[in-house]
Amino acid sequence: MQKSPHRTRSGDSGLARNTATMRSYRITHILPCLADPDKIRAIVELDEEIHEAFPYVNAILKGCIYNHPAMILTLKKDGKMITLYPRRVTVAKATDENDVMRTMEWIQSLLQEVEERKRELQPDFSRGVELKALDIFKLLPGTNCKACGELTCLAFAVMMLSGEISIMRCAPLFTPDFKDKRYVLFELLKSAGHYAPI
Give the Cβ contact number of residue 81 at 10 Å.
20
Q: Does residue 13 register a pLDDT over 50? A: no
With cut-offs at 50, 70 and 90, classify the pLDDT of residue 12.
Answer: very low
Q: Which residue has the higher pLDDT, 34 or 136?
A: 136
Q: Which of 12-21, 24-33, 182-191 has the lowest mean pLDDT?
A: 12-21
Looking at residue 61, the DSSP 8-state letter turns out to be: S
The pLDDT tens digits for 98-111 are 999 999 999 999 99
Question: Positive or negative, the Cα torsion across 30, 195, 69, 134?
Answer: positive
- Domains in the chain, start-ordered, CATH in brackets? 7-117 (3.30.310.10), 133-191 (1.10.15.40)
pLDDT (0 to 100) of residue 6: 52
With cut-offs at 50, 70 and 90, classify the pLDDT of residue 2.
Answer: very low
